[in-house]
Structure 1
Amino acid sequence: MQAQDQTFWTRDTVTGDWGGARTRLSNNGIDWSLTYTGEVFGNLSGGIETGAAYEDLISLEVDTDLEKLMGWKGGTAHVSLYQIDDGGRNAADLVGSISDPSNIDARPTFRLFTLWVQQQLGDTGSFRVGQLAADDEFLISDTAAALINGTFGWANIVAANLPGGGPGYPLATPGARLELDPSDESSGRPCSAAIRPETVHPMRTRKPADPHGTTFSFTGGALFMSEIQYRPGASAKDDGAQSAYRLGGWYHTADFADLELGNGNKGQRVSLAVDPSDPIEHQGNWGLYGVVDQVVWQNGASNITLFWRGSVVPADRNLLSWYMDGGFGITAPFRERPDDVLTFGVAYSNISPDASALDLATRRIAGSSYPIRNGETAFELSYTAQITPWWTLQPDLQYIVHPGGNVPDPDDPSHVIENSVLVGLRTTVAF
């Protein structure tokens, strides 16, 4: 359908083509999008407290074809800016879970997210440098991306273990990425990124070290990631869903404190429950992961895809020692709604046995029923309804077992945080 033939309800954006101005900009290499995402979540029971929270995100993204704009053959550029607001509290504040119920939760601020330039290397790959976000390309499942809980995007195994939560939303970092594509079906992505020295994730603190994303720090260690990807049949002219298999790993160069043991005043190793002042430092950190998106049924616009992700890391220096999630996505679950998606996911985050051992030592010393952390499980069922090409509504239901991994309730330390039931509704509008 031509832009001039589209009505308010059938065009791609609320504001349309601006009398042809958007098309002219695109023809000259500049494409931009402005998207509003707003949601309300209600914690019906359990968690830290019952109640409701509202949060929203306004994102501006500009993609530039530098060959069209200035004759730079194979060159592209990208920038994204965020305005984040949570009305004073977010869903994570209500629940107290490791798995953040919302993947847009963050400190209220206006911030730069990503900023990079890329050079296409013929048909063999590309090289990208600038402020990068690892969750744009690494450790992601195409199917799970339709869910709202943050762990189904930048998984808990990295968000809870890396300094500052790692280079995932809303914290991108300076770095470089090389992608090699030996065939249409397979690709490899080595990436390195500097990590700024934030030890608390921005979504968990009101005073981050880099509130606007413009520090561009190269201190605090570096993160190296690598991933190989295989998409069978990707070379075929098929607009339907495709299966994908990913295998990757990462290494971080910083020092990481031991979760259970420290150095005593005589040089001996002691439990941190006895003397938490001098933990043992481990050089470096690493992780391995795999991701599968498998199409199991397809008929025209309708398809059913299963997803699975798993990851392991060293237990002595990471809060989570292993992680697994899985589920399914159904595209066009109803014949008359070809653009809707129904998605279900379950994620398990296993607390490191070293962290559990510290809890056991604390219990022995305190002589009380101090809880022993074990793990957290998050269930989510979500339906994305495409109301118009520019507007979606997404009702969402989540159930989180042992929020925080079985930790004391901050309002009543004699009890652990109870299982949480949340309902939410998200709306997304493209301007």
Structure 2
Amino acid sequence: MDRFSVSRALSCCVALSVGIFGEAMAAEPTNGNESDDASYSLFDNGPNSLPTMTGEWGGARTYLRNKGVELGASWTNETAGNVSGGDRRTAAQTNQITAGLDVNAEKLLHWKGASFNFTFTWRSGRNLITDAGLYTLQQPQEVWGRGQTTRLTQLWYNQNLGGGFSFKVGRLPTGADFDNIPCLTMINYFCGATTGNMDGSRWYNWPVSVWGGLVKYNNPHWYFQVGAYEQNDRNLDNYLFIGYLHGATGVLLPFETGVRVHLGSHGYPGAYRIGGWINTAAAPDVLLANDGRPATLAGMSMLQRSGSHGGYLWFQQQLTGTFTEKPGEDAVVTQGLTAYVTLTMVDKETGPVSSQVTASLRYLGLPGRKNDAVTLAFGTNHVNSRLATLYWYQDGKKGPRRNSEFAIETDYTFQATKWLYLEPNVQFWVDPGGYTQKNMITVFGVKTGVTF
């Protein structure tokens, strides 16, 4: 069967899955989860996990679940329009459908400690940055991007080895297990692995998958993991495929460790992580041409560096309220205020954006609305000063150099039913793209999520 026949066949399977799947995958993750995906709240395994629109199919779902098989699908829509800033006033909407299969092989096949996952995604829609001419460094609609197409997003095998050790191999988005943070808003400053949002040419977030794997040690108090992922630009091809066996240019090697703590007289839980990565693939210098001097003319061949690197910190700390937790997993907030902080750095020789800082507050469980939440988030991206110098040279040394972009978003998550949420939000973008001469952008948006 040729490549296009395979693509057509898999597309049909995805369409069928979307029609019959009815529950977000609920199997407990052993190495991360889908929280770098826009459907984070739909795939949440906490005590507020939500029933689905189509129910239990007359008991069929319960039967499959007891056998170790979970079928799931969800739809996310993000609609946004700018009321100030940008080149034009307009609105755009984008969509993602996720369909997947989780298999607990210990239940189904009596294969101790083993599990499998198959996940497909389909994206469609328009990008407000392009339609309105916003120039922002990151997306006002985080579900847009990486091609409006169908992808195999996950195809992996996970094995628990006992004693806290496990491994995972297959087709994986790097950000599903490393730098994996909750999706709090519609701006992707605050949704998905920050490294992939900043440096997407070398770190692929959801929905893009690559060949790779990781080894993890995990106990109730701390964990450590290290992985290896293929660096292959062919994984960005804009159509459905299983994966390529040729075309790799290097290996992405991430590593991460984290601790789980309880602070204060109430023992509020916190999760604190630090990680980094090395990429062995050659990468172009952002300033210097092949002759070692600044590339003052556009289109010049850039000096190739032998690799690249970066690092990140991520903190989550509950400040008030209640929570539940299981050994070896981060605690789940059931009500109260939680703070999140991230700091991400990318090397200045090759990274277009050299640093990002975010800080967010989220309050879950409002009076009379125990599943609703309010979020306030602030973030800034700093354009690499070497890249800003390059642009300044190429513009004839006129005007100010690009600097930092600032983004603020506030959301209200309204849990309309047990399978539907609406998340209206307001976004403010100051110095979009790091251009101090551009006006502030104000965006009104709404994120909608449905679990089928």
What TM-score bracket applies, with the shorter chain setting the length? 0.7 to 0.9
Summarize the Cα distance change of 1:195–1:211 in structure 2 as closer, same or farther, 3 Å threshold. Answer: farther
Describe the SS at the equivalent of 1:212: coil
Q: How many residues are aligned here?
A: 388
Q: Secondary structure at the match of 1:189?
A: strand
Say what the alpha-carbon RMSD is for the aligned residues: 2.4
Question: 1:335 and 2:367 equivalent?
Answer: yes
Equivalent residue for 2:407?
378
Specify the code of the residue in structure 2 equivalent to 1:212: L
Aligned to 1:412: none
Cα 1:399–1:155 change in 2 (3 A) is: farther
Contact kept, 8 Å, 2:343 with 2:357, in 1: the verdict is yes
Q: Aligned pair 1:214/2:242, yes or no?
A: yes
Query: Which of 403, 416, 425 matches 2:446?
Result: 425
Structure with bigger gyration radius: 1
Equivalence map 1:356-371=2 (5 Å): 356-363=388-395, 366=396, 368-369=398-399, 371=400
Give the alignment partner of residue 35 of structure 1, picking from 31, 50, 74: 74
Deviation by residue 1:32-73 (Cα, 9 ceiling, x = unmatched):
111111221111111242211111111112110112111211
The residue that corresponds to 1:170 in the other structure is: 207
1:173 maps to a residue whose letter is V
Aligned to 1:281: 304
Query: What is the rounded CA distance, in whole Å, between the counterparts of 1:386 and 1:170 in structure 2?
Result: 25
Instruction: Look up the SS of the partner of 1:297 in the other structure.
Output: coil
- Paired with 2:103 and 2:194, the residues of 1 have a C-alpha distance of 33
Q: Is the 8 A contact 2:262 2:268 kept in 1?
A: no
Shift of 1:417: 4.6
1:349–1:376 CA contact under 8 A, matched in 2: yes
| Aligned residues of 1:381 and 1:398 also touching (Cα < 8 A) | yes
User: CA distance change for structure 1 residues 220 and 188 in 2, over 3 Å: closer, same or farther?
Assistant: same
Cα deviation for residue 141 of structure 1 reads: 3.1
SS at match of 1:135: helix
| Structure 1 position 118, deviation (Å) | 0.6
Match of 1:294 among 317, 320, 323: 317
How far apart, in 2, do the equivalents of 1:49 and 1:159 lie? 25
Q: 1:141 to 1:367 in 2, by over 3 A?
A: closer
Any idea what the Cα deviations from partners look like across 1:80-108, whole Å, max 9, x if unmatched? 1112110xx22232323111112210222
Quickly say closer, same or farther: Cα 1:328–1:36, change in 2 above 3 A: same
Q: Which residue of 2 aligns with 1:306?
A: 339
CA distance change for structure 1 residues 60 and 241 in 2, over 3 Å: closer, same or farther? farther
Give yes or no for the alignment of 1:15 onto 2:48. no
Q: TM-score, normalised by structure 2?
A: 0.80
Distance 1:48 1:253, change over 3 A: farther
SS of the aligned residue for 2:85 comes to strand
SS at match of 1:404: helix
**Distance in 2 (alpha carbons) for counterparts of 1:19 and 1:406:** 57
Instruction: List alignment gaps of at least 5 residues for structure 1.
Output: 1-9, 203-207, 408-415
Change over 3 Å in CA distance of 1:196–1:367 after alignment to 2: closer
- Whether 1:135 and 2:172 are equivalent positions in the alignment is no
Q: What does the per-residue CA deviation read over 1:164-205, in whole Å, with 9 as the maximum and x for residues that have no partner?
A: x62202211110011101x2121111111102225xxx9xxx
The alignment status of 1:348 with 2:380, answered yes or no, reads: yes
Q: Secondary structure at the match of 2:65?
A: helix
User: For the residues of structure 2 that align with 1:247 and 1:29, how far apart are their CA atoms?
Assistant: 34
Cα distance, 1:209 vs structure 2: 2.4
Distance 1:102 1:275, change over 3 A: closer
Structure 2 distance, partners of 1:273, 1:12, is: 58
Q: Find the counterpart in structure 2 of residue 205 from structure 1.
A: none
8 A contact 1:325–1:347 mirrored in 2: yes
1:91-130 matches, within 5 Å, as: 91-93=128-130, 94=132, 95-106=134-145, 107-130=147-170
Gaps of at least 5 residues in structure 2 are 1-48, 324-333
Contact 1:157 1:321 in 2 (8 A): no
Secondary structure of 1:254's aligned partner: coil
C-alpha offsets along residues 344-382 of structure 1, whole Å, 9 cap, x if unaligned?
11111111111122133234xx3644x521121111111
Moved more, 150-159 or 89-98: 150-159
Q: Equivalent pairs: percent with the same residue?
A: 26
Residue correspondence of structure 1 range 403-422 to structure 2 within 5 A: 403-406=432-435, 417-422=438-443
Letter in 2 for 1:223: L
- Please say which of residues 305-314 and 147-156 is displaced more in the overlay: 147-156
Q: Which runs of 4+ in 1 moved over 4 A?
A: none
Question: Normalising to structure 1: TM-score of the pair?
Answer: 0.84
Corresponding letter in the other structure for 2:174: A
Cα distance change, pair 83–22 in 1 and its aligned pair in 2 (3 A):
same
Q: Give the Cα separation in 2 of the matches to 1:383 and 1:392.
A: 10
Question: Which amino acid in the other structure matches residue 90 of structure 1?
Answer: N
Distance of 1:154 and 1:70 partners within structure 2: 33
